[in-house]
Chain A
Amino acid sequence: NAGVTQTPKFQVLKTGQSMTLQCAQDMNHNSMYWYRQDPGMGLRLIYYSASEGTTDKGEVPNGYNVSRLNKREFSLRLESAAPSQTSVYFCASSDPWLATEAFFGQGTRLTVV
């Protein structure tokens, strides 16, 4: 049982480049989330998807887009990367109506130069 799988684990981008972070879960969860983690800031929500076909902005959505491709997959896209987007990104999933515990992927360490 893989849980939540994120790719890639590491990425270096030049300012202005684009990329997509992939996330897939195999726990049949309805809800999926993208967080970013910066030193001293905890984890902050970028976007979330409460169910297949819906997405909503979180606390820090600027510069990002998301796609809930199906129930399993939720991708995060940076259209034009900026140094301020250097961070560790975590995908998570949960089924709040059954249990609110969130399961996190291994994280993507992104550096924008």
Chain B
Amino acid sequence: GQQVMQIPQYQHVQEGEDFTTYCNSSTTLSNIQWYKQRPGGHPVFLIQLVKSGEVKKQKRLTFQFGEAKKNSSLHITATQTTDVGTYFCAEVSNAGDTSYGKLTFGQGTILTVHP
């Protein structure tokens, strides 16, 4: 079953407000990836986090990996209408597995931005 829980399921913000989505796991994650899916589109890779406590930034997006590697977050500062879409976290199966590369997705957070 699903091993990565993502919250919230929906988030409505006014343009200019901040947005955060969270992923949590009961077990230690080997790594975490984040994807964005525009309405009617397909998932597009944003970033991968591997190290405990890792923080990466892409312009207004900040990605964090928890110290215990059991949670991760994506924070968007000052949202814009172009940020609309569904944001997914996903764990990649371990390099030692024959299924290496297989993704286990969170349920996703649907972000709407009101201008």
Contact = CB atoms under 8 A, between A and B. Distances in A.
A94 interface: yes
A74 interface: no
Given A40-B9, A50-B98, A100 B44 contact: no
A106 interface: yes
Contacts of B102: 33, 45, 48, 58
B87 to A, nearest CB: 11
A33 B103 contact: yes
Contacts, number: 70
Interface string B1-22: 1100010010000000000000
Contacts of B98: 50, 56
A44 B1 CA distance: 10
Chain B, interface residues (CB within 8 Å), range: 20 to 34
A107 B98 CA distance: 26
Interface string A86-101: 0000101011110011
Interface residues of A, number: 28
A94 B103 CA distance: 11
B1 to A, nearest CB: 8
Interface string A61-95: 00000000000000000000000000000101011
Interface in B60-99: 88, 90, 92, 95, 98-99
A100 B31 contact: yes
Interface string A102-113: 111111000000
A41 interface: yes
Interface of B: 1-2, 6, 9, 31, 33, 41-45, 48, 88, 90, 92, 95, 98-108
Q: 6 closest pairs, A vs B, by CB?
A: A96-B101, A42-B105, A104-B42, A101-B45, A43-B105, A42-B107
Interface of A: 31, 33, 35, 40-45, 48, 50, 56, 58-59, 90, 92, 94-97, 100-107
8 contacts: A33-B102, A42-B88, A43-B105, A48-B99, A50-B99, A50-B101, A95-B101, A104-B43
